[in-house]
Structures are given as C-alpha cells and as structure tokens.
Amino acid sequence: MPDPEQFQEFQEHSVAEFFKKNRQMLGYSGKIKSLTTVVHEYVTNLIDAVEEEEDNLPEAFVKIEELGPEHYKVIVEDNGPGIPEDYIGRAFGQMLAGTKFHRFMQQRGQQGIGAAGAVMFGQVTTGKPTKVITSQGDGEILECDLSIDVQENKATLDNKKTYSGEMKGTRIETEVKNVLYQKGRYGVDEYLRRTVLANPHLKLTYVDPEGKTIVYDRAVQDLPPKPKEAKPHPQGVTVDDLLGYAMQSNSQKIKSFLKNDFTRVSGKKAKEIQEKVSFDLNKRPGDLNWDEAEELVNTFDEIDFMRPPTDVLVPIGEERLKKAVEEQLEPEFKTVIERKPKAYRGGVPFVVEVALAYGGKAGNDNGEDEIEAMRFSNRVPLLFNKGSCAITKSVDSVDWDRYAVKENTPLTILVNFTSIHVPYIGAGKKAIADEEEIKKEIRLALMKAGRKLGNYLKGKRKKKQRLQKKKTFETYIPETAKSLADITGKDEEEIRKHLESVVKQRFSDIGEDED
C-alpha cells in the first residue's frame, strides 16, 4: 500500500530551524526586549567564560552602536581565556553544543542555546555574520566571520585571519535590526546595572548609543569562590537518571557506584540501603534493571541523608551583596539574608539570598519612589516574564504592610536564586518555574529581611513622631511661660528656660542636629 499523501511531506528539521521560526521562545519578541536579550546572552556567556579561569577577575566591555533606524551593532569583549579555533563554531554557532549541559554545576548558562541564538537573530535580521576576534594571550589573534547554517545547525567560519598582537579574551560584534534601544525597565542599561549589582567582582565599561561611557568599578576586589562540580544527591534522582548514571559508571558494584557517584552516600548509608532493598548491591551497576532502580529510589526516600553540600553553590554572599548594594544604591538602610541550602524536586540543591535596600537610590529608578523587585538566577538579571516567575509570586505573597512598607516606599527588593540547575519556564531563561520548595524559601527569606526593615521603618516613624511632638512642645513654651508668669508672678524668662530644659530632657534621645 503506498504511503498516504500526508506522510509524503514528512520532514525533519533542526533545533536551529525550530528556534528561528519560534524566536519568541528565546526572548526575541518585541524590539526593546530583543536587543536586551542579545546583550544578556553575550554577557552571561562572558562572565561564565572568564570565571572558568583561575584567578582572573572578569572585565567586560559592552558597546551599542546605532547604525540606522532600528539598526544597531552590539559589541561585547571579555578578558577570558579566548577560544581555540576548533571551538568557535560550536561555542557561538551551534545550538545544543557546549560544555555546560552535561555538567552538574552552578553556571549562568546551562543550555548551549543562548549565544548561538543571538548570532542567529543578528543573521536573520541583517543577513550579516557575527565577527569573532579572540586570542588566548599567546601573541596570536584570530579573527573570523561566523554564520549559522540554520538547516544543519552548524557554524561556518569565513574570512579567517590570524595576526600578531597583544590580546587575551574574546570580542564579539553582531549587527541586529528590528530592535530598539531605550532606557527604562527593560532596556540594556538596566540589564547591565543589575548585572553589576549581582556581580560586584566584575568591572564593566559600557558605551551607550549616544556615545556616553559608564564605568562600573568593582565593589569587591577578590573573586568569589569557584563552584565545585556537584554529584547528584540521592534524594531527587529519578529512576531514569539513576539507570543512566549506572550504565556510565566505572564502579564494579552497585554499592561502590552509589558511594562514588552520589553525594552524601557513606559506607554506613550504603549498608542501610542494602538492608532495605530486596537485591544484592554487590552486582554490577550495568546489570541494574528498572524495577531494582525504582526500589532504590523509593528506598532513598526513607533514609535520612545529609543535606547537599554547600560548596557546590556559590551565592553572591552576605558581605559582597552588602557592598554591591551600598555601591550601587547608596541606601539609607539595607539588610541581607542568606538562607541555608535546600533542595527542590527532592535533590537539586539551591540557595536563596535576599537584600532589601531602603532610601538613597533604592526603589527610585524611574525618579519616583516605589517598590522595585530585582530578580536574579545564578547572578543573571531576569527582566522579563515577571508574572510567571517564582520570585515575583513569592514577593507578592508577602504582606509587606506588616513591615511598614507602603506603595510609595522607596524600596529595592533583590532576590538571587542560586542552583546547579535553574528550572526556567522556557528556553529564553527569563523566569523561574513555579516550584513549591523554591517559592517557600524565597518567601521565608523575604519575611526575615522584611522584619528587619520593619523594625527600622517603625523606629524611624516613631522617632519622627517624637520629633514632631518635641517641636510642638517647643512652639508653646513661650506662650506657656508667659501664662505661668502671669499666674505665679515669677520671672517669665526663668520659667521659659526651665520648660526648655524639661523638654530637652524628655526628648534626650533626639539629637540636636536632627531637630
């Protein structure tokens, strides 16, 4: 029987074709958002790349040039390790390729889609390749034009040139059209401002389309610790993953496989597991079948394991975040809360930190006092898809009124979610999925910080009220003194002085200067 007509049209298409047609899924929808997304992808990539090296403080140069109406060039340069020629194509011109996907490690990027998406967006809006200039610091500079063969999801490098010169790092230049540069909440300026806030060890020089240069100096001079590559925690591993790990394991026995390939499985715990399962853990990991693996996963749930180790997670850190907030927001009051690491979906470790900044430049990015929530995941600012994000939902769930926060309180709420795998709601990585454990942790951190802020604001309000009271008393002193003098026949001046000293004593907690 011949194939029915409709099946003759059967075709395969590449992941690059898919995201070209559905580029809104990567964040390329809306002119302002699209430009910010390009910058976001390159800057995210850049900081990850520099931090791969030991002892190298990241330094970034970002420039947006206006070439015509809705036509810009984005230039991003770093002081990272540079990229060997063989890897340029895969790093910037092929989707689902990279070093990050298979790692169990905290990084900004995690998919191997973003940078190639930015190159593709430039290509489909201008027809032009992206220029890559890179050097590993060995005196040799490589320059080439990179384009993506969308149907094949492969990069092509043209106009390759090698020349001598002093450079260490990578410079990317991408032309884009149908985009718009604008200041404000969703623009590049705000994206970079927030990047610096969450990465106080980054030095950033930014040249905007009007040619204005802003230099963000480092708020801290030392590198944050490098996150360690993690092993999965037994709680939260799925049966399918467990079998996958078992097949790849070099261990001779399941028992040693569990001890070697997972975190927090000691000899004692392995023994405890053996006592609970119906099969012998001395057999080979490769011989594990689905039912046995399922039995293991169910057994893991019955055992008390230690929490995931904390050195696989590197949040911004209390001191660094305080310094960054001071430097960038110059607030009147600030508080930083870092929670203990938890796990979501049973076993993926994460940690939440929250900063509240009140007054100064906080909550005031539009020139009007208001509450401003800044979302970050692994230190990357999240500007879009606010309503679908676990952070927004947590912020909205807090009764801020209890902490004396009103609508026009000049407050910046900063939340950074750190994890070895951020559950983004989409490939565009704009918002964190609505997981119960995550929302709970963020909420608890916000409430703890909120209480501190509330104490400050209530204290401030009380002081203000007392100051008001003092002023009222002082206003009536001359009149009162006069009346008392009339009644008692005593010296008015004397009475006035006495009354003044009484008021001063009674409000001794308020300094003269605050008067």
Interface residues toward a copy of itself, by CB under 8 A: 1, 3-4, 6-7, 9-15, 17-18, 21-22, 24-25, 29-30, 52, 81, 83-84, 86-87, 90, 94, 96-99, 101-103, 111-113, 123-128, 136, 138, 238-240, 243, 290, 293-294, 385, 387-388, 421, 423-427, 433-435
Residue whose CB is less far from a copy of itself, 237 or 357? 237
Choose between 12 and 304: whose C-beta lies nearer to a copy of itself.
12
Rounded to a whole number of angstroms, the minimum distance from the CB of residue 11 to a copy of itself is: 6
Compare residues 33 and 320 and give the one whose CB is closer to a copy of itself: 33
Between CA 179 and CA 189 the distance in angstroms is 15
Full DSSP string of 177-210:
ES-----STTSHHHHHHHHHHH-TT-EEEEE-TT
* One-letter identity of residue 160: K
Helix (H, G, I), strand (E, B) or coil at 80: coil
Cβ proximity to a copy of itself: between 113 and 352 the closer is 113
CB of residue 442 to a copy of itself, shortest distance in Å: 17
* Type of residue found at 357: A
CB of 290 to a copy of itself, least distance (A): 4
d(CA 274, CA 257): 13
- Shortest Cβ 358–a copy of itself spacing (Å): 29
Nearer to a copy of itself, 15 or 75 (CB): 15
The alpha-carbon radius of gyration of the chain (Å, integer) is 30
Query: Can you name the residues that pair with 60 across neighbouring β-strands?
Result: 78, 204
Name which of 225 and 244 has its Cβ closer to a copy of itself. Answer: 244
DSSP secondary structure of 268-288: HHHHHHHHHSSS-TTS-GGG-
Taking the complex as a whole, the smallest distance from the CB of residue 118 to a copy of itself amounts, in Å, to 15
Sequence letter at residue 1: M
One-letter-per-residue 3-state SS of 227-256: CCCCCCCCCCCCHHHHHHHHHHCCCCCHHH
Q: Measured from the CB atom, is 87 or 476 closer to a copy of itself? A: 87
Nearest C-alpha neighbor of 343 from the set 227, 443, 437:
437
Minimum Å gap between C-beta 475 and a copy of itself is 49
Least distance to a copy of itself from the beta carbon of 258, Å?
19
Which tokens go with 405?
């926060």
Q: Which of 308, 309, 310 has the alpha carbon at shortest distance from 343? A: 308
Q: What six digits make up the tokens of 194? A: 């927030």
Query: Any idea what the Cα angle at residue 465 is, between residues 463 and 469, rounded to 5°?
Result: 115
Contact indicator for 353, 241 with CB cutoff of 8 Å: no
Shortest reach from residue 126's CB to a copy of itself, in Å: 8
Residues 6+ apart with CB under 8 A from 385: 425, 426, 428, 430, 431
What CA–CA distance (Å, rounded) separates 450 from 402?
8
Specify the residue, 69 or 367, whose C-beta has the smaller distance to a copy of itself: 69
Tell me the closest approach of the beta carbon of residue 145 to a copy of itself, in angstroms: 14
Looking at the Cβ atoms of 30 and 317, the one nearer to a copy of itself is 30
* Cα(360)–Cα(355) distance, integer angstroms: 15
CB of 444 to a copy of itself, least distance (A): 22
Compute the least distance from the CB of residue 273 to a copy of itself, in Å: 20
Reduced to 3 states (helix: H, G, I; strand: E, B; else coil), residue 363 is coil
Residue whose C-alpha is closest to residue 261's, from 234, 231, 296: 231
By beta-carbon proximity to a copy of itself, the closer residue of 341 and 423 is 423
Q: 């559905």: which residue's tokens? A: 22
Of 359, 339, 334, 434, the C-alpha closest to 390 is: 434
Residue 231, CA atoms < 13 Å, CB-side half-sphere: 15
Specify the residue, 4 or 211, whose C-beta has the smaller distance to a copy of itself. Answer: 4
